[in-house]
Amino acid sequence: MKPNFIFATSVSAALIAMSSVQPVAASDFKFYSAGGCAPYTTGTPNYNELRFRSDGVQNQSDGYRYVICPVVRDMQSSWGFNSGETGGVVLYFRTNTAGSFQCTLTGGSTSGGSYSITNSTSGNPGDNLIISFSGVDFYNNGATDAPVSIVCRLPPKGTLAKYSVNESGVTDSYAPAPAP
């Protein structure tokens, strides 16, 4: 009986310690496959033109095509929604022909205002390129709601391989479930 009692006491102590963990204020980086993005079009998407795989999404067509990708964060307050806190996104591309990539990062919603910023980059066949959005502060630009997404224009045969999300400020805090 003593070993079971000691084990149960140890488990209880560990659970109590875990429930009192303080929020983490360090940066938090996450990497996402662009294979999780979706076609972005006003018409019916043609999946023969965009090749979605775990290592990214490639534009198979001879014209520019668009994709939309979610920007997933742990907390609304960790990414520029409270004054003074900022975060960022870095997108990684590969060219197969010469071309220009362009991405627009948008935060907010129709109910709380939105803010967008656009960046672009160009390269030659075989180049690995990046587009970076850093220090974006949606709070001070009128976007007070949490949703964030990114829309990218891919040149012919261009690939969006992956993207990373960086959060600053408190990201891992415990919030109890609402009472029924």
pLDDT the model gives residue 172: 56
Report the domain count for the chain. Answer: 1
Residue 139 domain-assigned? yes
> 65: Cβ–Cβ under 8 A, 6 or more apart, which residues?
39, 41, 49, 50, 59, 153, 154
Say yes or no to pLDDT of 174 above 90.
no
pLDDT the model gives residue 76: 56
Residue 174 domain-assigned? no
For residue 149, the enclosing domain spans 24-167
The residue-averaged pLDDT of 119-135 equals 92
Residue 51 domain-assigned? yes
Residue 15 domain-assigned? no
Q: Which residue has the tokens 């939309």?
A: 68
CATH of the domain at 92: 2.60.120.260
Residue 4 domain-assigned? no
Residue 166 has φ and ψ, to the nearest 5°, of -115, 125
pLDDT the model gives residue 163: 95
pLDDT tens string 12-37: 444 444 444 444 455 677 889 999 99
Residue 124 domain-assigned? yes
Range with the largest mean pLDDT of 6-20, 31-45, 73-87: 31-45
The pTM (predicted TM-score) of the whole model is 0.74
pLDDT tens string 44-68: 888 889 999 999 999 999 999 999 9
**Separation between Cα atoms, residue 9 and residue 18, nearest integer Å:** 14
Say yes or no to pLDDT of 128 above 90.
yes
Residue 2 domain-assigned? no
pLDDT tens string 96-118: 998 999 999 988 777 777 888 99
Residue 12 domain-assigned? no
